[in-house]
Structure 1
C-alpha cells in the first residue's frame, strides 16, 4: 500500500493528468496531449478521461496495462487511427467515447474484444458509410446506447444495422450528411431501441422522411428526436411528409433546431392529432409564416391535439403561438410551456382557447404587466382547470394586475412569480386573490415591507427568499392562518419580530439574513415548528443564543437543518468567525438562577460579616451615641442654647459610676471644692438641670466644663452612662490632643480586659499618663497635688443662669420625659 501511494504521489508531480481516488480515476482533458501518456498512468485505473486533446492515434500499448479500465473518454481529439489491438487487454471496458474525431472507418477490429460495452459513442467522425460489422457488433449483447454516423455519411442502406437486430437498445442516434443522397427502405427496421435520434437534414430529399417513419411503424418508443430536419430551407411542397407518423407508438416527439413554416407545422400537427403522442417539444426552431398559407376558417384549425405536455422553447418568431391565426391548437393541452419566445401580448381569445389547461408555464419571456393582463378582456370563466401558473423570470412589476388576472381562475392553487420586479408598495394595493391559492413562489424580487399585504393570505407555502426584505410585516403574517412553510432566506432582515405567532407554521428558512440575536422566546409561539434553517447570519454569541441552541438540541422539537456548519460568531470581535458550536459561556454568566443564588449568598455573607464586625466593635452602640449627640445638638440649636463664644461654667465635669459616688462625695469634692480658691465641679446628682433630657444634660455640662475627670473602676466599665460620657468627651476632643481629659484610676484595671467599645480608653491608658488613687494615706496628699496641677489654678467661672441649681439637682429624681434620674443613677 505504501508503494502504491508513493507511486501515485510521483505521478501527480510529473503527470499532466490528475490521479485521484487511490489511482482509480485519471483526468487528462484539455492538456494539449498529442499522444496517450501511457507510462504515467497507474495500472489500477478504472476511469480515464483524455478528451479535448490533440491525440492523433491510439496504439496497441497505450492501454495494455489498464486491465481494470471501465470508462474511456476520447472525444474531441483528432484520432484518425486506432490499431487493431488497441483494446486487447481492456475487456472490462463498458463506456467508450470516440465522438468527434477523424476516423474514416468504424474501428470494428479494435472494438471486437469489448464484449462488455454498454455505451458506445462514435458519431461525428469522417465515416462515409454507416455499416456496422455484423461479426463484431452482434456480440455486443450488453450494449445500451449507441451513437453512429457523421457529416460525410451520404445515406443509409438496408443492411447497415443488421448486426443490431437482436440487441435491445435504450438509445440509438444516427447522423448523416446535410446533403443526404440515398435512403433504402428498411434501413432502420433492424433497430430495437426505446429512444431514437435523427440528425439528418432532408432539405433536398424531403420524401425520405415518410420512408424513415415507415421503417419505425408498429414500434414503440419513449422518445423520437429530429435534429435539423430542415437545416437550410423551409419546406414549400404540398406532399404530407408526416403521413406515416400515426403508425408509430411514441410517447414524446422532439423537433430540435431546424426551420418550420406554417404549412409544415400544420402538416405535423394534423397527423399528431391521431397519434398516441403525449409530449411534443419544439425547441430552437426558426419559424416563419408561409406566403402561400390559405386560411380556410375553422376547418383549417387544429382543434383535436390532445397532449399531456407541449413545449415551445427558444422559438425565433412568437407567431408560432397562433400560426393559423388562432389558438385552437391549445384547447386540449394539459401542460403548456412557452419559454424564450418573447411574445408581447396575449389576446383575449387566447385565454378562451385554453379551457383544458392545468399547467401554464410562460416563464423567460420578458413579459410586462400589460402583455398578459388587458383590462378590456373579460376573464370570467377562463382557464377553469388551471392548477399551476408560472410567470417567473419576466419583467412584471404589479401584484395588483396579477391578482386581477388570476382572480377568475377558479382552480388555481400554485403560482410562481419569481425573478420578476414585483414588490413595490405603490403597485401592491387593492389586491383581491381567490381563496384557493396555496403555494406562492416569489423569490428574487424586490419586496418592500408594505407590499406583503398584497400577497394572498390563504397560502400554505410561501417563498420570499432573496427579495431584499429588511423587515417583516406582522399584520400580513397574522392573517396567514394556514401557512405551513415559509422561506425567507437571503434577505436583509435585521431582527426576528417579538411576539411572532403562527399556530400552523411547520418549516421556516431564515438563513443568509442580517439578524444576530436569537433566543428561546423567538419561536415559542410557533407550536408546530419542526424545521428551521437559520445559518449564515451575523450572530451575537450571547447567553440567549447559547441557551436557544442547547434548548433546541436537547428537546429535539425543532430540527435545525444547517447546524452546525453555517453558524459562526460575528460579535463580540474576540469571537469573530468562531463556530457557534464551540461557544460555551460560563454557567455563572448565563444561568440567572445561579446568579440570583450567588448574589443572595454573597449578600448574606456580607450582612453576616457586617453584623459580626458590628458586634465586635459595638457599631450599634456608637451609632446610637452619635445619634444622641446630633439629636441633642439639634435641640440646643432649636432652643438657641448652642453657639456663641466658649465660656466654661465648671472647672471639671466628674464622670463616675453610682457605686463610686461615696468616694466622689467624701474624697474628691471636699478636696477640690474646699480649695482656696475653690474648684467648681459638675456632678450629675447635683448639677443636672431638672426637666431636660439626660443626654442633653450630659452633653451641655461636658461642653461647659474645662476638664472632664473620669473616675475609672470596674463599676465604671460596666456602666452604660459612663460609657456615654466617655464617648461624648471623645467626640468633644476630636481635632484636639485630649488634654482636657483626666483619667483617675480608683482601682487597678487591666486595659486588655476592657470591652472592645472602650478601644479609645484602652489607647489612652496605654499612651496617656493617668492618676492612680493610692490606698496608703501618706501617698494621697501627693495624689491631690498632682490632680490640682493637672486641673490648673482655679479661675473665676461664670455663674449658671438658673439660680439655686445646686440645691435643686440633688433633689431631682423623676423629672425626665423618657430617661428619669432614677434610671440614670441606676444605670451608672
Structure 2
C-alpha cells in the first residue's frame, strides 16, 4: 500500500475519533445529505467569501462536495488538502476569476471537477497536475480565450471535457492542450468563436464525440484524416459553414453527423461524394429539405439498401405523398419528421415502401384531425410499434383511425386539443401497451373507447375535462396496471366505474373535484393497488367516520392526500388510516387540520415516510402518543406546523427515525432527552424556528458541542429570537450557572438566618405564639361563641388564677375571706371547679368567660408558669380588645420592675389597671393592713362599669401628659418604705 494511502487512512481514523469524542456534528456552511454517512455535502448560497471558511470543518471522509451560488472569487492553494477522499467536487455558479495552481493538491482520488458558470479567463498550466483519476472536467460558461500547451497533460484518465460557452478562438491551441489525453472520449466546444478546425496536432486517439455547434466555422481542416476517429460530430448552427468544407474529408467512422442550420447542401454533399461519411448516419434535420423525395433519390445511389434511423426534423415539409419515401433505403427503426408543417398524416400512406419502420414521430406539426382509415385497407404497417402525434393541433380522432397500424404497442396523442374521441377511434389496437391521451380537452370517455385494448398496461388521461367516470368504462382493461386520471374535473364515479381493473397497481386521481373517498369503490383493489394519489381534491370531514375508507387497501404502499382544496382536510377522523398495514409513504402536507387525535396514525406499522408540512391552523399541540405505532418511520417532515414543544410524549417512540424536519415551527426549546431517545436520528432541521437563547436551552447547546451522531442542519446560522445579534450555538450560558450559585447562596443564607432567629424568637415570642394558637383555636370553636353569648350570665364572681405553689395562701387566706365569714362571693378554682375530662384550654376559657372578674395571684412562681401565663393573657384579651373590666392583679410578694418588664402585657396591664399588694411581714401593723387589703379587694370585685369609665378617663389624662395624682414607679417604691403614707393610697396604687 502506498504511503499516501496510509496517510489518508490515518487522517480518517483521527477525524472519526475526534468526531466521536468532542466534535460538533454540524457544519458552518455546508449541509450533509441525509443518510450519506459523512460523504455528501452541499454548500449552496453561503455568505462566506473564502473556500477555507466553507470547507474547513468538513470531515476527511467527504467524497462529494458541491459549492454553488456562493460569493467566491478566488480558489487559493491547498484549501481542499484535508479532503483526500474527494471524488466529486462542484464549484459551479460562483464568481471565481482566479484559481491558484496548487488549489487541487492532494485530490488524487478526484473523478469529477465542475468549474462551470464562473468568470475564469485563465487557467494555470499546472492547475490540474496530480489529478490522475479525474474522468470528467466541466469548464463551461466561463470567459476562457486560450489554453496553455499541455494544459491537461496529467489528466490521463479524463474522458469528458466540457468547454462550452467560452470565448475560445483557436482550435489549434485546444488540440495542443488535449492531444496527449489517451482516455478522452467526449469534447464539447459548442458556443465558442472557432472559425476553423486546422490544428498542428492530432485529436486524441479515442475521442468519439465532438460537439462544435454554435461557433463561427467557415472551414473545417486541411488534414483529410483529422476527423477519422470521430463517431459523433455536431456542426449545427455554424451558419456559414459551406459544403466545400467537407471535400475529401475522411469521416468513415461517423455514426452521427448533425448539420442543422448550416450552409451545407446535403444534395451536393451526397452527389459529389465530398466525404466518406455514410449518409444513413447523417441527421438531415434543419437542412431545408422541403421534399424528402429528392433526398431519397440521392440515397438510392448508395450501395447500402437500408438505414436504421432517419431524422428529417425542421425542414419545412408541408406535404408527404404516397411515394415520398419509396426511393429511400429501407428504414428499419425510427423515422422522425417532427417540427415540420404537416397537416394531414393521410393514414401514413407516405410510408409506402417502408414496411419495416418501427417508430414514427410526427410531433410538433400542424395536424388538426386524424381521419378514418378503413379496415381491410391493403396498406398496413404491421411492424410499426410506436406512433407519436404529440404537440400538434388535433381536435378530433375519427373511428378506426389506427386500423392501419394494428400492432402498435405505444400510441402518444398527448398535448393536443382533442375534444372528440370517436367511440371506436382505438378499435383494433389489441397489442397496445401504453396509451397517452393526457393534456387534451376530452370531456367524456365510454366503455367502447377502450373495448379492444386487452393488452393495455398504462392509460394516461391526465389534464382533460372529464367530470364523470361511467360504469364499465374500463371493463376490458384487465391487464391495466397504471391509470392516470389526474387534473380532470371528476366529481363522482359510478358504482361500476372501475369494473374490470383486476390488476391495477397505480391510480392517480389528483387535482380533481372529489369530496369524499368511496371505500366501496376502492375495495375491489384490495389485492393489487399500491399507489393512490388523491392530491389537491376537495376532500374534507366535519364529523367522525364510522369506518376508514382505506380499510381494504392492505397492499397500498404510497398514499397522497396533500393540498386538499380550498382549505384542506380540516379533520382527520379517528383511526382514519386503519387497514393500511403495508403503507410506506404518506403525504398530508398543505392541509388545515385543526386536530390530530391520539389514534390518527394507528395501524401504520410499516410507514417509513410521513410529511405533514404546512398542515395546521395556527399553533399546534400534537397529542401525546400520536406517533406511537410508527416504529419504522425513517423520515418525518413537520415543517411550518406551528409546533410549540419537542416532547418525549410525542416524538419519543420514533426510534427508527433518521431524518426530522422541524423547521419553521414555534419551538423555542429542544429537549435533549428526546434526542437521545431517537437512537437512529442523523439529520435534524430546526431552521427558521424561534429558538430561545436562555437557560432552558443550555443543555441542547452543550449537546450540539459534543454530539457526533445527529447533524443539526445549519447550526451556525441559527439565531436567537430573544437576543438580537446572538447565535444559538454560542450564546452565553454563564448566567445560568450564576443563577444557580445565587440560588444556592440565597437558600443557605436564609436557612442560616432562620436557624439563628429561631432561638431568639423562641425566647421573645414563645408565649405570644402559644397564646395566639390557643386564641385562634378557641375563637373558631363552638365553645368560644357559646361563652360570648353567655357573657352577661356569669356563674362566678371571680376566676382565681394562681400557681400551685401559692395554693396554701389561696386556700387559707383568699377562700375564707371571700367565700366565708359572711361573704357571698363565689370563686372559680381550677382544682375544684374545672370540668373533669374536658380539654384544659376549654376549661380556662370557660372559667374566664363565666366569671365577672379574673383575679391573678402574682408571685415569682406565677411568672414562671405556662398555664398561669395563658390565663392572664386570656383575661388581658378581654381587657384590651373587648374593653371589659375583668382583671385584678394581686401581688403576693414584691417583684422588681426589671423582671416584670420581660412580660410586656403584664406591664401594660399594670399601667392601665389598679393592682393590690399583699402586706408583707415587714409591715408595721399586719392585721390592719390585711383588713384594708380584703376591703379593697372586695370593693374591686364589686366595681361597676362606672369605675371602668373613670379609669379610662384617667388613662386618657395620662396619655395627654396630665399624670395628676397617679404616682410613678419610684413613688410606689417610696410608699412601700414609708409607714406614714396613707395606707389606703398605699394598697390601692394606680
Q: 1:263 to 1:216 in 2, by over 3 A?
A: farther
SS at match of 2:420: coil
Structure 1 counterpart of 2:509: 417
Is 1:656 the equivalent of 2:802?
yes
Q: CA deviation at 1:462?
A: 0.9
RMSD: 5.9
Contact 2:558 2:586 in 1 (8 A): yes
Which of 386, 391, 399 pairs up with 2:480? 386
Q: CA deviation at 1:284?
A: 1.8
Q: 1:696 to 1:117 in 2, by over 3 A?
A: closer
Structure 1 counterpart of 2:293: 206
CA distance in 1, matches of 2:604, 2:372: 62
SS at match of 1:523: coil
CA distance in 2, matches of 1:659, 1:740: 24
Q: CA deviation at 1:499?
A: 1.7
Contact 1:530 1:557 in 2 (8 A): no
Structure 2 stretches lacking a partner, 5+ long: 1-49, 53-71, 77-93, 104-113, 129-136, 154-159, 446-464, 653-670, 694-719, 737-753, 945-990
Contact 1:441 1:463 in 2 (8 A): yes
Is 1:564 the equivalent of 2:685?
yes
Cα offsets for 1:573-625 (capped at 9, x unmatched): 9569999999999xx9xxxxxxxxxxxxxxxxx9xx99x99999587886566
SS at match of 2:904: helix
Contact 1:333 1:356 in 2 (8 A): yes
Which of 599, 603, 621 pairs up with 1:517? 621
Q: Where does 1:529-544 land on structure 2 (aligned, <5 Å)? A: 529-541=633-645, 543=647
Q: 1:465 to 1:503 in 2, by over 3 A?
A: closer
Contact 2:518 2:549 in 1 (8 A): yes
Q: Where does 1:343-354 land on structure 2 (aligned, <5 Å)? A: 343-350=418-425, 353-354=428-429
CA distance in 1, matches of 2:302, 2:893: 144
CA distance in 2, matches of 1:114, 1:539: 61
Q: CA deviation at 1:412?
A: 1.7
SS at match of 1:434: helix
Contact 2:470 2:496 in 1 (8 A): no
Cα offsets for 1:395-416 (capped at 9, x unmatched): 4332526x85443332221123
Q: CA deviation at 1:733?
A: 3.0
Q: How many residues align?
A: 721
Which of 794, 797, 812 pairs up with 1:666? 812
Q: 1:447 to 1:690 in 2, by over 3 A?
A: closer
Contact 1:355 1:385 in 2 (8 A): no
CA distance in 2, matches of 1:620, 1:381: 97
Q: Where does 1:12-161 land on structure 2 (aligned, <5 Å)? A: 18-19=96-97, 62-64=146-148, 67-68=151-152, 71=161, 73=163, 75=165, 82=170, 88-89=176-177, 91=179, 97-99=188-190, 106-109=196-199, 112=202, 119-123=209-213, 133-138=223-228, 141=229, 145-148=232-235, 150=238
User: Is the helix fraction higher in 1 or 2?
Assistant: 1
CA distance in 2, matches of 1:752, 1:359: 118
Q: TM-score w.r.t. structure 2 length?
A: 0.58
Could you tell which deviates more after superposition, 180-189 or 234-243?
180-189
Q: 1:405 to 1:670 in 2, by over 3 A?
A: closer
Which of 388, 397, 402 pairs up with 2:490? 397
SS at match of 2:424: helix
CA distance in 2, matches of 1:685, 1:28: 111
Structure 1 stretches lacking a partner, 5+ long: 32-36, 589-605, 754-758, 799-828
Could you tell which deviates more after superposition, 111-120 or 310-319?
111-120
Q: 1:17 to 1:430 in 2, by over 3 A?
A: closer
SS at match of 1:286: coil
Cα offsets for 1:362-421 (capped at 9, x unmatched): 3333554666578788536422222112344x44332526x8544333222112334x34
Q: Where does 1:458-607 land on structure 2 (aligned, <5 Å)? A: 458=553, 459-468=556-565, 469-474=568-573, 476-500=576-600, 501-506=602-607, 507-514=609-616, 516-518=620-622, 521-541=625-645, 543=647, 548=652, 553-556=675-678, 563-566=684-687, 568-569=689-690
SS at match of 1:539: coil
Q: 1:213 to 1:257 in 2, by over 3 A?
A: farther
CA distance in 2, matches of 1:216, 1:197: 19
Cα offsets for 1:275-334 (capped at 9, x unmatched): 5x4x654432333669xx995533257573563x65443123255x66x84244675444
CA distance in 2, matches of 1:332, 1:271: 18
Contact 1:121 1:146 in 2 (8 A): yes
Q: 1:376 to 1:172 in 2, by over 3 A?
A: same
SS at match of 1:108: coil
Cα offsets for 1:486-531 (capped at 9, x unmatched): 1122333344333211244412122233364346512013344343
Structure 1 counterpart of 2:457: none
Q: 1:541 to 1:363 in 2, by over 3 A?
A: same
Q: 1:673 to 1:379 in 2, by over 3 A?
A: closer
Contact 2:247 2:275 in 1 (8 A): no
Q: Where does 1:141-290 land on structure 2 (aligned, <5 Å)? A: 141=229, 145-148=232-235, 150=238, 162-165=250-253, 172-175=257-260, 180-184=266-270, 190=277, 198-209=285-296, 212=299, 224=309, 226-228=311-313, 230-241=315-326, 244-246=329-331, 248=332, 250=333, 254-260=336-342, 262=344, 266-267=348-349, 274=356, 277=358, 281-287=361-367
Q: Which has the higher contact order (CA 8 A, sep 6+)?
A: 2
SS at match of 1:297: coil
Q: Where does 1:755-766 land on structure 2 (aligned, <5 Å)? A: 762-764=903-905
CA distance in 1, matches of 2:805, 2:929: 21
Is 1:299 the equivalent of 2:380?
no
Q: 1:678 to 1:762 in 2, by over 3 A?
A: same
Q: 1:211 to 1:706 in 2, by over 3 A?
A: same
Structure 2 counterpart of 1:364: 439
Q: 1:760 to 1:522 in 2, by over 3 A?
A: farther
CA distance in 2, matches of 1:255, 1:384: 35
Contact 2:314 2:340 in 1 (8 A): yes
Contact 1:156 1:182 in 2 (8 A): no
Cα offsets for 1:178-220 (capped at 9, x unmatched): 9643353788875699996754443235242476599796999
CA distance in 1, matches of 2:201, 2:224: 12
Q: TM-score w.r.t. structure 1 length?
A: 0.67
Structure 2 counterpart of 1:778: 923
